Amino acid sequence: MPPRTPTIGPMDLEAFWTACERRSLGESADIKPALEPLSRAHDHELAGAVEQGRAALAEARALTAPFTRVHRVLGARLSARTGDASELVAARTELEELLSALPEQESSTRGRILHTLAVIALREHRLAPAETLFAAALRTVTTEPVVTWILDGFAQVLVNTGAWEEARRLYAALMGRRRVLGDVLGVAITAGSLGRMLVSLHRPAEGASVAAEAIAETAGKIPDTTLLRLATLHLDACLDLGPGVPESAARLESLVSGMGDRTHYLVGYALLSLARAASKERASDLFARADHHFTLGPMRAWARYSAARVLPERVVEDASDDEPVTEAVVFGRLLLAERAHAEGDVARRRQALERAYFAVRRASHPVWRESVDRVARILDPDLFMDETARRFTARSMDELSRPTSDVCTIVFCDIVKFTSLSQVLSPDDLIAASRGFFELAVPLLAQHRVRPLAYLGDALLAVAEGEDHHGRGIAFARALVGRVIRVRDARAAAGLTVPTGLDGAPLPFRIRGGVATGPVVMGVLGNGFKQEFTAIGRTCNLAARLQALAEPDEVVAEATVEEPTERVTLKGFDAQQIPIVRVAGDR
């Protein structure tokens, strides 16, 4: 792609933002002298050089609107870069005030504000607002490379909410876009994020493959710390996988040696991985060297956990329940459970697993929860089943096994034209489509206190019980439809191909929902060969009929407290006029 040299005029906001962003790809731009300090501040912010960026902003003189507002945006971005909690709040407040008063014609600045607010929300672990803000930014900004930055943030939200299939799909597309842009560093960063997610989900072969390909493609073209991150990922994957450890460890050792006496947390993590691959005698020395590179408490705690994992004589530290939950806390408790299991101490094993579950409930971190589920499923299946039941119902498996009848709300959502998709997608892609849909629903089920009853291939059957169950059921269905819309928009922005049916019509990712409220009988059906907890009765059938009545991206709900927008006659309910409301997805 040939370099561009746009000239920045006094009101040419879009050209200014685009030129600054493309400088990160090595392109040049002819920027007016009065705006040069702003562009340098932008460069420093991207590099994380906060003080240099603030110094550049201080040089900006005699700015007029709209660039006075650009100055404020860059100042807020630099504050957000510090990582300090109070500065994040101040940056968010500044940007929200600026956004509320921003002239409509300054859409390019609006898009950058939305993007920055999304990044701040992600750093504050406010994942639902972050996803909504990233989606809004995508609707506002269309230029590269900022679109890839927004998509990268969107993918991070998907990872942190447990929507791993959609995150995998998006990361793979992002690497392709960054190759086209010539963004070698971006390719390496995205590969690292994708590979780390795969290893965390116990898919080391895929993680090792992603890391190896990225190392081969980017070696010699990226900073040594980025290459070190990829090489550490590759060794971690090989250690989980088995083959390839000596070659991977030798490469990582060479990179660490090349860093000399430089202190960097990534060197510390590399040494932790090397310790896993080393003999017991050498591992102790490597753990001691790694500790020198960590300054933050959570990093030091992870180093201590890593040492205890490799060296059986090391004591596993466990934090009190009043302390913040970190990765080391969760995995340390799992290690305690594994040691108790090996010693045959059932009571101590149960206590450690219960404390691990307590930690992941506090942290609300799906990758950690997945790891706890995986260990509990093997070591203590009864606890795993009981915890899974309580996660969505606040009731034990014993309570759920008794048949009940109650007035509640049934939600039925399915993927539009899934039969057509099943005829054109490969078996792997078809399963991935279903899995991705259900993963998107999980955090919303917990948020709205809705219990999943069944995954029916392309459909989700769920129930809301208790206080305001009707309102929560509709809110869940709208939220799920809205989330699918946001994911579909992200797919389109990433350039992902939309499948085409046998009739030649496109088959975009769309769902619809039906919601009905009334008496429901719930209990266990089946026998020793197969059992499942489910709901039966008129209300379940009605929810399915209403779902079929909905348009794509729409929810049709039985009107129980709302003023109905229409009345319909449905198959199986011929003698009744069902009052309904139609609502759009909550974007």
The residue with greater pLDDT, 573 or 7, is 573
Handedness of CA 91, 264, 170, 46 (dihedral sign): positive
- Token output for 80: 């957000």
Backbone angles phi, psi at 554, to 5 degrees: -135, 155
According to the model, what pLDDT value does residue 453 have? 85
Do residues 196 and 190 make contact, with C-beta atoms less than 8 angstroms apart?
no
Query: What is the C-alpha separation between 330 and 513, in angstroms, rounded?
Result: 37
Do residues 499 and 424 make contact, with C-beta atoms less than 8 angstroms apart?
yes
Q: What is the largest CA-CA distance in the chain?
A: 82
Report whether pLDDT(4) > 80.
no
> Residues with Cβ < 8 Å from 8, sequence gap 6 or more?
15, 16, 19, 29, 30, 31, 32, 35
Report whether pLDDT(529) > 50.
yes
Report whether pLDDT(34) > 90.
no
Enclosing H/E stretch for 454: strand 450-455
User: β-strands 578-584, 566-568: how paired?
Assistant: antiparallel
- pLDDT tens per residue across span 185-231: 999 999 999 999 999 999 999 999 999 999 999 988 999 999 999 99
The whole-number average pLDDT for the span 470-484 is: 96
According to the model, what pLDDT value does residue 506 have? 94
Report whether pLDDT(397) > 70.
no
Range with lowest mean pLDDT among 190-194, 404-408, 470-474: 404-408
Rg (CA), the chain: 26
Do residues 69 and 106 make contact, with C-beta atoms less than 8 angstroms apart?
yes
Report whether pLDDT(395) > 80.
no
Do residues 515 and 557 make contact, with C-beta atoms less than 8 angstroms apart?
yes
- Cα dihedral 319, 320, 324, 328 in deg (nearest 10): 20
Query: What is the C-alpha separation between 385 and 66, in angstroms, rounded?
Result: 58
According to the model, what pLDDT value does residue 158 have? 96
Give buried/exposed letters for 390-418 (b at 16+ CB in 10 A, else e). Answer: bbbbeeebeebeeeeeeebbbbbbbbbbb
According to the model, what pLDDT value does residue 531 have? 57
Q: Which amino acid is at 539?
A: T
The whole-number average pLDDT for the span 249-268 is: 93
Range with lowest mean pLDDT among 220-234, 327-341, 511-525: 511-525
Do residues 60 and 71 make contact, with C-beta atoms less than 8 angstroms apart?
yes
Query: What is the C-alpha separation between 389 and 383, in angstroms, rounded?
Result: 10
Do residues 140 and 111 make contact, with C-beta atoms less than 8 angstroms apart?
yes
According to the model, what pLDDT value does residue 348 have? 96
Query: What is the C-alpha separation between 151 and 487, in angstroms, rounded?
Result: 10
The residue with greater pLDDT, 538 or 352, is 352
The whole-number average pLDDT for the span 466-479 is: 94
- pLDDT tens per residue across span 351-385: 999 999 999 988 888 889 989 999 999 999 989 98
Whether domain 401-584 has CATH 3.30.70.1230: yes
Report whether pLDDT(393) > 70.
no
Do residues 515 and 475 make contact, with C-beta atoms less than 8 angstroms apart?
no
CB < 8 Å & 24+ apart, contacts of 500-504:
500/424, 501/417, 501/420, 501/421, 501/423, 501/424, 502/420, 502/423, 502/424, 503/420
Residue 438 pLDDT grade (very low, low, confident, very high; cuts 50, 70, 90): very high
The whole-number average pLDDT for the span 26-40 is: 88
* Residues of the chain above pLDDT 90, percent: 71
Alpha-carbon separation of residue 562 from 249, 349, 418, 580 (angstroms): 64, 50, 31, 9
Handedness of CA 210, 256, 330, 242 (dihedral sign): positive
Report whether pLDDT(254) > 70.
yes
Alpha-carbon separation of residue 382 from 73, 121, 242, 359, 387 (angstroms): 53, 37, 31, 19, 9
Do residues 42 and 13 make contact, with C-beta atoms less than 8 angstroms apart?
no
Among 138, 130, 194, residue whose Cα is nearest residue 165: 194
pLDDT averaged over every residue in the chain: 90
According to the model, what pLDDT value does residue 323 have? 86
Residue 525 pLDDT grade (very low, low, confident, very high; cuts 50, 70, 90): low
According to the model, what pLDDT value does residue 11 have? 43
Query: What is the C-alpha separation between 295 and 313, in angstroms, rounded?
Result: 25
Query: What is the C-alpha separation between 396 and 370, in angstroms, rounded?
Result: 20
The whole-number average pLDDT for the span 405-420 is: 92
According to the model, what pLDDT value does residue 7 have? 44
Do residues 333 and 352 make contact, with C-beta atoms less than 8 angstroms apart?
yes
Domain positions in the chain: 1-148, 401-584
- pLDDT tens per residue across span 112-167: 999 999 999 999 889 999 999 999 999 999 999 999 999 999 999 999 999 999 99
Report whether pLDDT(409) > 70.
yes
Note the pTM of the prediction, 2 decimals: 0.89
DSSP 340-359: HHHTT-HHHHHHHHHHHHHH
> Residues with Cβ < 8 Å from 306, sequence gap 6 or more?
272, 275, 276, 287, 290
